[in-house]
Amino acid sequence: MIPYGRQDITEADIGAVIDVLRSEFVTQGPIIENFEKDVAAKVGANYGIAINSATSGLHIGCMALGLKEGDILWTSPNSFVASANCGLYCGATVGFVDIDPKTYNISIPELTKKCEQADKNGTLPKVLVVVHFSGEPCDMEAIGALATKYGFSVIEDASHAIGGKYANEMIGRCSHSDLCIFSFHPVKIITTGEGGMVTTNDSALAEKLRMFRTHGITKERDNFLTSEQGAWYYEQQSLGMNYRMTDIQAALGKSQLKRLDGYVATRQIIAQRYDGMLSSINVITPFRDSLNLSSCHLYVILVEPQRRRDCFEYLRNNGIGVNVHYIPIHLQPYYQSIGFQKGHFPNAEAYYERCISLPIYPTLTIEQQKYVSEKIACFLYE
Ligand SMILES: *Cc1c(COP(=O)(O)O)cnc(C)c1O
């Protein structure tokens, strides 16, 4: 089976992990801080905070922004459930903003309209989570302007998007957001097994994130609330989690990060090659804004809704590990049980009925791509 995504682990990666295993620290050692600095420097942010998953990053990101019961979080329905669950973890109410049928990202006209209405009703969100779906950046300037106008915080769920650029800035630079979160799950652009990173330019937020990822504890003398009692002393000042990354994982991430630009360049080539191979076939290929750089995490085609299921099954039966991203979050039984209904976000629903994610990862060969494209043509025309 050709999978839809897969990690690329080199001998150098394996060596880096083995070095940590032979060293004094397998967790909470020096490599974590090293990896945080590398990612922050790479994307041009002041701070990087490593965590054990992007989901954890979304959770403590919301906590650091003060999201709590009675508050509202908005996100896109076309995402993994984690983009919305983080609001529920904090006891907030979750709402969705429908997608743009061209980019599959949050729709700026819909967001603008929803802000205007919410402003009148007193139901503006405290936090907006935007998702750079497939690696294609959202319109951050427009989002940042609305955040300033209406006074809410912005988290970029950049789980798909490390290595990409919005205009001339790396995703993670946080010029138009408070926090940016990357995932290092093996299907994403670079991996640490499980893992993630939050980037920010705000020192107070960075401090909170560091505490929330480790039980709300600080060991920094300068930050103690009471007088220090000895060298053993630490303080729990708030209720945090154990969301720490290990040094074993950070070593893998640090080694992988060196190949980030190459990975994105290769993914771009693969995406362009699919564009060409599929141009004479009756499918819709992904939009990419030439002013941005997509990390090309996913390559999604749209087929006729009546044929999607059969097409998916045909490709799977032919050894192609296609996937579907995403079942709209509000259609999940859990979200239905808290009041969402089919019909609420028609663009995300219409998109979902047509989408198929094709295999895309750095070691995918031209022959494999040809095979995938031929099989799609076979299904549609034979
Ligand atoms: C993968 C993913 C997540 C969750 O990432 P983990 O590191 O597995 O927690 C969140 N949001 C989006 C958009 C994702 O693709």
Segment 265-294, tens digit of pLDDT: 999 999 999 999 999 999 999 999 999 999
**Who lines ligand 1 at CB under 6 A?**
53-55, 79-80, 82-83, 131, 157, 159-160, 183, 185, 196
What's the CA-to-centroid distance between 187 and ligand 1, angstroms?
10
What's the CA-to-centroid distance between 225 and ligand 1, angstroms?
35
The residue among 232, 249, 298 whose CA lies nearest residue 271 is 298
Q: Which H or E run contains 301?
A: strand 299-302
State the closest ligand 1 atom to the C-alpha of 194, by its place in the atom list counted from 1: 7
State the closest ligand 1 atom to the C-alpha of 183, by its place in the atom list counted from 1: 7
Nearest CA to ligand 1 atom 10: 82
Q: Which H or E run contains 366?
A: helix 366-381
What's the CA-to-centroid distance between 157 and ligand 1, angstroms?
8
State the closest ligand 1 atom to the C-alpha of 58, by its place in the atom list counted from 1: 10
Return mean pLDDT, the chain. Answer: 97
Q: Which residues contact 139 (CB under 8 A, 6 or more apart)?
A: 105, 108
State the closest ligand 1 atom to the C-alpha of 55, by its place in the atom list counted from 1: 9
Q: Which H or E run contains 72?
A: strand 72-75
Q: Which residues contact 231 (CB under 8 A, 6 or more apart)?
A: none
Per-residue confidence (pLDDT) for residue 122, from 0 to 100: 97
Tokens 């729990």 locate to: 236
Tokens 């290990």 locate to: 246
Segment 236-251, tens digit of pLDDT: 999 999 999 999 999 9
The residue among 366, 287, 252 whose CA lies nearest residue 16 is 252
What's the CA-to-centroid distance between 6 and ligand 1, angstroms?
15
Residue 284's identity, in one-letter code, is: I
Whether residue 128 has pLDDT greater than 90: yes
Residue 172's identity, in one-letter code, is: G
283 and 378 in contact (C-beta within 8 Å)?
Answer: no
Which among 159, 189, 360 is the best mutation to test ligand 1's pocket, defined by most ligand atoms within 8 Å of the CB? Answer: 159
What's the CA-to-centroid distance between 82 and ligand 1, angstroms?
6
Per-residue confidence (pLDDT) for residue 147, from 0 to 100: 98
Instruction: Return the structure tokens found at 68.
Output: 């709590």
Per-residue confidence (pLDDT) for residue 24, from 0 to 100: 92
Cβ count within 10 A of residue 291: 10
State the closest ligand 1 atom to the C-alpha of 131, by its place in the atom list counted from 1: 13
Q: Which residues contact 106 (CB under 8 A, 6 or more apart)?
A: 75, 76, 97, 99, 100, 130, 131, 138, 143
49 and 177 in contact (C-beta within 8 Å)?
Answer: no
Q: What is the pTM of this model?
A: 0.98
Q: Give the Cα separation of 74 and 71 in Å (integer).
A: 10
What's the CA-to-centroid distance between 77 and ligand 1, angstroms?
14
What's the CA-to-centroid distance between 315 and ligand 1, angstroms?
25
Per-residue confidence (pLDDT) for residue 229, from 0 to 100: 87
β-strands 93-96, 235-236 pairing: unpaired
Q: Which residues contact 61 (CB under 8 A, 6 or more apart)?
A: 86, 155, 179, 181, 198, 209
Q: Give the Cα separation of 154 and 334 in Å (integer).
A: 25
Nearest CA to ligand 1 atom 2: 159
Whether residue 382 has pLDDT greater than 90: no
The SS3 call for residue 76 is coil
Lowest mean pLDDT among 32-41, 122-131, 217-226, 256-265: 217-226
State the closest ligand 1 atom to the C-alpha of 83, by its place in the atom list counted from 1: 11
The residue among 356, 346, 372, 345 whose CA lies nearest residue 286 is 356
What's the CA-to-centroid distance between 55 and ligand 1, angstroms?
6
Q: Which residues contact 237 (CB under 8 A, 6 or more apart)?
A: 211, 216, 217, 218, 223, 225
